[in-house]
Amino acid sequence: MSMEELYAIAQSELAKDLVFEIDEEPVTVSIKGVLLARADSKTYNFSFFELSDTEFILAVQMKGFIVYLGLEADEEIDEEALPELVRILLQGLTPAIALLITKAEKDYSGRADLLLDDNMSPDLKEFFYSLLLKHRQGKPIYEQTEVA
């Protein structure tokens, strides 16, 4: 599987704007970045966290890979609406993520690659490139902090 084919899958399947109705108001969530990285575990898992009021990361782990999606909303999303947003995102995007991972597990030999960078904000870009470097260097992606 060439990198060009993985880029093509990310472009065709994941580079999109998603429109949701939250509190009877339409909200557009755009996928701005996609990062594919190898994981030490073959378990299935996901994480969702906020970088800002309008920027989020959805990380989906399966079959020894993690796909990070950088998401940007056109307006602030209330914290109470986030669980429903995550459910809808996972339901709608899991088939495309699974396709990308299925293709990657056959021939992809890299540790991590950025497959989509669609006008990411500076904060989102910094986060993604930091993740990319950590994965490529084999460093832990989560920082441990001590209680003061």
Per-residue pLDDT tens listing for the chain (148 residues):
478 889 999 999 999 898 888 778 888 999 999 999 999 889 999 999 899 989 999 999 999 999 999 999 998 888 888 888 899 899 999 999 999 999 999 889 899 999 988 889 999 999 999 999 999 998 877 665 555 5
The 3-class SS string of 112-140 reads EEEEEECCCCHHHHHHHHHHHHHHHHCCC
How many domains are there within the chain?
1
Decide if 133 is inside a domain.
Answer: yes
pLDDT value at residue 146: 53
Structural domain boundaries, residue 46: 3-137
Decide if 143 is inside a domain.
Answer: no
pLDDT value at residue 78: 86
Residue 28 DSSP code:
E
Q: Closest Cα partner for 59 from 22, 76, 34? A: 34
Q: What is the pTM of this model?
A: 0.91
What distance in Å separates the CA atoms of residue 73 and residue 19, rounded to the nearest whole number?
Answer: 10
Decide if 43 is inside a domain.
Answer: yes
